[in-house]
Amino acid sequence: MKLKIVFVSTVPPTQCGIATYTKDLIDAFQSTFENLECIYCKLTEISEVVPDTSFTLNYNKKEDYRRVAEEINADDSIRLVHIQHEFGLFGGHYGDYLLELLEHLKKPIAFTFHSVIPNPHKQFQTFVQLLASYSSIIFAMTRDSKNLLQSDYHIDENLITYVPHGTHIVAYNEPNQTKKKLGLENHKILSTFGLLGTGKSIETAINALPEIIENHPDTLYLVIGKSHPKNIKDGVDPYRQYLKNIISEKKLDQHVLFIDRYLELEELLEYLRATDVYLFTSKNPEQAVSGTFAYAMSCSCPIVATSIPHIREELSPDTGIIVDIGNSRDFSRAVNKLLSNDALRESMAINAYQKTRESSWENVAIKHFNAYTEKAKLFSNVKFRIPKIKLSHIKNLTTSNGIIQFSKINLPDINSGYTLDDNARALIMMSMHYMLFRKKEDLLYIEIYLNFLERSQQPTGNFINYIDQFNQEHIQNSYVNLEDSNARAVWALGTLISFEDHMPAGIIKRAVTCFLKCKPWVSNLLSPRAIGFSIKGLYAYYVSTKEKFVIPVIEHLANNLITKYDLHATKNWKWFENYMTYANSVLPEAMIYAYLTTGNSAYKKAGVESLDFLLSKMFLKDGFKVISNKGWYHKNKNPMQFGEQPIDVAYTIQTLNVFYQVIGDKAYKSKMNLAFEWFLGRNQLSQIMYNPVSGGCFDGLEEKNVNLNQGAESAVCYLMARLIIEQYHRRKYEKRVELGEVFNQKGAPFI
């Protein structure tokens, strides 16, 4: 049975900020969590039955509040009623009809206060305190609002949770890229959006335009949005007409464009992405929060804004400029400053984009959910929804030469060049994708990544790692230890060859040729992780070809690891070295492959012991954490914190998958799923680590923020992990998975 949350709110197509906010929040819940259903209790002026809306409440009829409460109480699957509160939404004095609903509800209640008015008089204060007395949890969308609820309304701090207004994740780009789509490429674009009304004070921006145009004659100001329904009288909006009169008087007709219609979300976001400077002109000094401002920041708009609490809290000098309410002269000066400095605008745009990632709707849904579970003790068994597999970012990073190493946010950084590491991992990932989906276009990318490995292989059989943006060997190849990189190539080639029954013969032939050239050096590897990667590739090659020369090579390399294990392992430190660094799980995984190849139970014993020890350092009471890259984890010392990278999460998932298949212990499968939820938001920052727009992956989880760059390593590793999870969700694997037998036809694991 799905558990339900009822949201009491206005509902689209009603055009108001709370309706939009609630829809976006519900959509985020539905896309983030699997067995959780969000339904509306629609606030309406008439009694009606609304399709796809479970409850309707005529807010002008006091008796309707009790009726709705009884209907909600009758549904056992409803676990929470979440009220989106604004005083004007409910009938009665201060909206006190709402008390009738609260009095009769027998479900836990949450409030989001969209307005928190400072310095309330006693009667108003008492009413808000009464509302709060019914609540299990209260959400405030600014820190200022949270503080006011405590200081001015004397509401218990433990009842209040700060969760910012949500924002939409969009692909980062410079405005000129989007202007061309909208036919605005010859303009400097200023914009404002939202329901048009006197409170917006659009005249402040219009009156600033002459001075702006004098310096930047290509300026075009977009006023986006319909008139507020309450402002229209006899089919006419006096306020809009007032603005048009100012425009006419100041001869600004060629510099102001009214987009007088309701824009669907995608179109609105496109206009914001095309904006050079966003203007927030509100004249309400007590406006607690602005969704329009939040959306503009999330679309990387530098902002000039009037001083309201939300703006003062969120807009810093590195993201915009705050001006006095109604001061057109300040607006013109600020806008001219930004339009005259491309570097400043670009810097502000990037900072704004980065600052709002924490408030993406997905993260806001997770923050709400965490508050429900921690403060209201609800929904403990809700699961994360597995996101769709998307390759668009990977394809965007890939040129005819290979996959580019780094990106600046989501934009490929061609100057970073290419590496063997990334192209080897990309070859594995795309081969896995092809095995699951059999899409012919995957073969094009498999060819590109295989070409890179061939291009990097030297006459001696080993590989160089770095190729620059001009497809030339990089000087780094001369002084960087390349053992691990070379071993990843062996892993990639062996994995590709193990899929020979389903791949074009020409691709497999080339991979075999490349693989066999590695024979002279592969048995001489000394780095533990290089040994681990090579054993993975050698095992995959062996089960496919049954060529016996592989067995002594695996045995020799495995003995090297066993020697290290015997040297360093103690009662309280079951590991191959006196420290743990990156890709740790590859070492016990290699032991299992050595056991499968030779039957030597000593390898299996070392593999199980070392993996269980590693897992004890990552699966903790407060969740799953991989070993920090900030100093690593040294024997007899406290582990470092933070600095978690997607590559290590993905490697852990790969290893747990293999151990579950071989050992059959369902605890490994359970931990594998828990580790994957690290990407989905079950981590120490409670933020998603994948990009739901492109399928990319953020580069790191730091102490206070997510590294929003989406390089090849992170993106590829996330997808490798995602594809492993996919095989457990695909119907044709379900029975075999439960038997611990997700091997390909020749016995090689599916990784």
Query: Which pLDDT band, with edges at 50, 70 and 90, does 742 fall under?
Result: very low
Q: What gap in Å lies between CA 430 and CA 438, rounded to an integer?
A: 10
Spatial contact of 507 and 446, defined as CB atoms under 8 Å apart: yes
Domain 3-162 is in which class? alpha beta
3-class secondary structure, 740: coil
pTM given for the model: 0.93
Residue 394 has pLDDT above 80, yes or no: yes
d(CA 359, CA 370): 14
What residues pair up with 112 in beta bridges, in sequence order?
84, 139
Q: Angle 17-32/361-375 helices, nearest 10 degrees? A: 80
Q: How far apart are CA 545 and CA 522, in angstroms?
A: 18
DSSP, res 194 = S
According to the model, what pLDDT value does residue 746 have? 54
pLDDT band at 621 (very low <50, low <70, confident <90, very high): confident
d(CA 502, CA 225): 54
pLDDT of 716 strictly over 50: yes
| CA distance to 77, 99, 125, 528, 581, per residue, from 578 (Å) | 52, 63, 61, 12, 10
pLDDT band at residue 402, thresholds of 50, 70 and 90?
A: very high
Eight-class DSSP state of 697: B
Residue 629: count other Cβ atoms within 10 Å of its Cβ. 16
User: Residue 139 pairs with which residues in a beta bridge?
Assistant: 112, 161
Q: What is the pLDDT of residue 35?
A: 87
3-state DSSP helix/strand/coil percent for the chain, to nearest 5? 50, 15, 35
What's the rounded Cα separation, in Å, for the pair 277 and 190?
A: 5
What number of H helices and E strands is found in the chain?
28, 22
Using left for φ > 0, alpha for ψ between -120 and 50, and beta otherwise, residue 735 falls in alpha
Q: Which residues pair with 189 in a beta bridge?
A: 220
Question: Which residue in 208, 178, 183, 172 sits closest to 275, CA to CA?
Answer: 178
Task: Output the 3-class SS for 610-626.
Answer: HHHHHHHHHEECCEECC
Enumerate residues 6+ apart whose C-beta is below 8 A from 131: 85, 98, 99, 102, 111
Per-residue pLDDT tens for 425-434? 999 999 999 9
For residue 70, the Cα-to-chain-centroid distance in whole angstroms is: 39
Mean residue pLDDT of the chain comes to 93
The confidence score (pLDDT) of residue 470 equals: 87
What Å distances lie between residue 56 and 26, 29, 67, 112, 470, CA to CA? 17, 21, 10, 19, 63
Q: Which two tokens stand for residue 256?
A: 């102001």
Contact partners, residue 434, CB within 8 Å, separation at least 6: 442, 443, 446, 499, 502, 503
> Which amino acid is present at 558?
A
The yes or no reply on domain 392-738 and CATH 1.50.10.10 is yes
Distance CA 456, CA 501 (A): 26
pLDDT tens digits, one per residue of 219-246? 999 999 988 777 788 778 899 999 999 9
Average pLDDT (311-327) is 95
In angstroms, the CA 270 to CA 285 distance is 29
Which token pair is 676?
A: 């994957």
Tell me if 118 sits within 8 A of 146, measured CB to CB. no
Rounded CA-CA distance 117/284 in Å is 12
Q: What percent of the chain has pLDDT over 70?
A: 95
Q: What's the distance, Cα to Cα, between the start and end of the chain in Å?
A: 35
3-162 and 175-359: identical CATH topology: yes
Give 194's Cβ-side CA count (13 Å radius). 23
Task: Retrieve residue 693's tokens.
Answer: 């727009």
Measuring CA to CA, which residue among 52, 34, 293 is closest to residue 165?
A: 293
Task: Give the start-to-end residue ranges of the domains of the chain.
Answer: 3-162, 175-359, 392-738
* Residue 303, H or E segment: strand 303-306
List of E strands, 137-293: 137-140, 160-162, 188-193, 219-224, 256-259, 277-280
Q: Is the peptide bond before 13 cis (omega within 30 degrees of 0)?
A: yes
Q: Which residues, in sequence order, are bridge partners of residue 749? A: 743
Report the distance separating Cα 171 and Cα 392, nearest Å: 11
Q: Tally Cβ neighbours within 10 Å of residue 420.
A: 26
Question: CA-CA distance, 108 to 127, in Å (whole number)?
Answer: 19
Backbone phi, psi, residue 367, to 5°: -65, -40
HSE of 234 in the Cβ direction (CA atoms, 13 Å)? 1
How big is the CA angle at 531 (ends 530 and 536), to the nearest 5 degrees? 100
Q: What is the pLDDT of residue 47?
A: 62
pLDDT recorded at residue 639: 87
Whether pLDDT at 743 is above 50:
no
How far is 614 from 542, CA to CA, in rounded Å?
28
What pLDDT shows up at residue 562?
Answer: 96
Q: Is the per-residue pLDDT at 130 higher than 80?
A: yes
Beta strand 277-280 with 188-193 is parallel
175-359 domain in CATH 3.40.50.2000?
Answer: yes
Give the mean pLDDT of 25-43: 95
Distances (CA, A) of 194 to 191, 302, 337, 745: 10, 18, 25, 58
Under a CB-based contact definition with an 8 Å cutoff, are residues 598 and 551 in contact?
Answer: yes
Binned at pLDDT 50, 70 and 90, residue 471 comes out as confident
Provide the pairing of β-strand 404-408 with 137-140. Answer: unpaired
* pLDDT of the residue at 81: 97
Q: Reply yes or no on whether the pLDDT at 491 is more than 90.
A: yes
For the chain, the residue count is: 751
Average pLDDT value for residue range 37-57 = 81
